[in-house]
Amino acid sequence: MRPREETISIGGIGVHTWIGGQGDPLLVLHGAGGNRGWTRWLAQVAERFTVWAPTHPGFGRSGDADWMDGIDDLARFHLWFIDAAGLGRPHLLGHSIGGWTAAEMATMSPGSIARLVLVAPVGLKPETGEILDVFYYSPPQLLTMTVHDPKTVPEWDELYGRAPTPAEIEIATRNREMAARLTWKPYMHNPRLGHLLPRVANPTLIVWGREDRVVPVECGEQYRRHLPNARLTVLERCGHLPPIEQPDAFARLVLDFLGGDTRR
């Protein structure tokens, strides 16, 4: 089933959204790099779930939200998106800052979502290491630090194999500015989040890359300890982008976790 693109109005903001698949709804929240569109892993998951993949306000082709100044604002907004789009009680998957957003949403309203998938989320301050200052590096520098081995990324040429157009550079700059606004102070974490995560009894899958140089894998252990019904899966030879670096293995993990009694 071919995906479609829609712009959904939420509170006067046009939210550019990819929609496709069949089955129970799965809301997918992207990371700081923006919405990469209908990538390989999404197509596989969409064989069993209806995927809704919105672009955060201030990113990509979505409208501006100058009033947002933190991930908690983005979390409230996406809870509103669930209601406005009529998703009922969807499964929720978020990557990086999208994972942090998903975790905040779950603490705010755990009954609004079914199962939760957190993919290398920021949001918790590492106990020993540190989260990489992603705004210090240029996009080409950051890309080399984000993945473990470009040669093993199936969609590398399609996603990163050519120089960006001026329009794409403009969008990337906009994404970077909005990500900084949402995550800068305190940098990439909420000191209160760890105290609130025990409220989230939803079945939760946490996925991390062993070689993640952006967010230390120890943060995955922290999330696992705080969440009462969570398990952590660490992918070997994988960096900060498991859905892109190992799309087939990642899609299998998601499908296996969401399968069975999916509405529990």
What is the pLDDT, as a whole number, of residue 260? 45
pLDDT beyond 80 at 263? no
Which runs of consecutive H residues, i.e. helices, occur in 147-258?
156-160, 166-183, 193-196, 218-226, 242-245, 247-258
pLDDT of residue 2: 87
Which two three-digit tokens encode residue 215? Answer: 């967010």
User: Are β-strands 116-119 and 204-209 bridged in parallel, bridged antiparallel, or unpaired?
Assistant: parallel
**pLDDT at residue 88, as a whole number:** 98
Question: Mean pLDDT, to the nearest integer, of 21-39?
Answer: 97
51-109 tens-digit pLDDT: 999 999 999 999 999 999 999 999 999 999 999 999 999 999 999 999 999 999 999 99
Flag whether pLDDT at 262 surpasses 70.
Answer: no
Residues of the chain with pLDDT > 90, as a percent, come to 95
Domains and CATH numbers, the chain: 4-256 (3.40.50.1820)
Q: For residue 41, what pLDDT band results from cuts at 50, 70 and 90?
A: very high
| Tens digit of each residue's pLDDT (9 = 90 or more) over 170-225 | 999 999 999 999 999 999 999 999 999 999 999 999 999 999 999 999 999 999 99
* pLDDT of 264 higher than 80: no
Mean pLDDT across 158-170: 93
Q: H helices within 85-165, ranges in order?
A: 97-108, 139-146, 156-160
- Please report the pLDDT score of residue 1 as a whole number: 66
Using the predicted structure, report yes or no on whether residue 4 has a pLDDT greater than 50: yes
Please give the Cα distance from 44 to 157 (Å, whole number): 19
Does 79 or 140 have the greater pLDDT score? 79
Give the residue among 188, 248, 144, 160 at the shortest CA–CA distance from 31: 188
Q: What is the pLDDT of residue 5?
A: 98
Higher pLDDT, 140 or 110: 110
Residue 126 CB coordination number (10 Å): 17
